[in-house]
Amino acid sequence: MKSIAILAGVVLVMVGAAFVVTKMVIKPAMAPHATAEPEKEKEAESPGEGAESKAEVYLVSNLLVNPTGTGGTRYLSASVGLQVTSPVSLEKLRLRDLQVRDLLILVLSSRTVEELTDSKSREQMRKEILGRLNQLLGGDQLTAVYFVDYVLQ
């Protein structure tokens, strides 16, 4: 009788673990990426005008990179928001999603841990990403780069 109770307890623990893994790991990994849908936000055109326009933000989520010089012992998990100038620019980002993700991974993984934690270096990284993506898209398609999620372990 004791062995049946122990076996039932083990089965319950295994079912619970399977549920947690499915809910927290497998389901989010199989969900469509948030990059396919833009987020909209309002932003003032200029302080003097006071008029507001809608800015489109393209979200590139779930970037996971190893900083340079860490030998794979550290990682950065990040999501990046890319503010675009028009719906046409947003469509260009959608069409080049793989190239955009590759460029972001290249820039983020080329930094040391010290550079990734320093706010001045992060600002330089934003400018580099903005310039390189505008070059990729052909012209001034992007106006801002936002680090929406940025966790260094």
Hey, what's the torsion of the CAs at 131, 136, 137, 141, to 10 degrees?
Answer: 0
Please state the domain extents for the chain.
1-31, 33-152
Specify the amino acid at residue 108: L
Nearest CA to 106 out of 58, 68, 137 is that of 68
Q: What is the largest CA-CA distance in the chain?
A: 80
Cα–Cα distance, 78 to 65 (Å, whole number): 8
* Class in CATH terms, 33-152: alpha beta
**How is residue 132 written in tokens?**
């390189």
Q: Which tokens is 122 given?
A: 């992060």
pLDDT value at position 4? 86
Cα separation of 52 and 57, whole Å?
15
pLDDT at 145: 96
- 134 and 84 Cβ atoms separated by less than 8 Å: no
3-state secondary structure (DSSP) of residue 41: strand
Contact (CB, 8 A) for 95 and 138: no
What integer pLDDT is reported at residue 43 of this predicted model?
Answer: 43
Per-residue pLDDT of the chain (153 residues; tens, 9 = 90+): 888 888 888 888 887 777 776 777 666 665 554 444 444 444 434 343 433 456 799 999 999 999 999 998 999 999 999 999 899 999 999 999 999 999 999 999 999 999 999 999 999 999 999 999 999 998 888 999 999 999 999
Residue whose tokens read 């009788």? 1
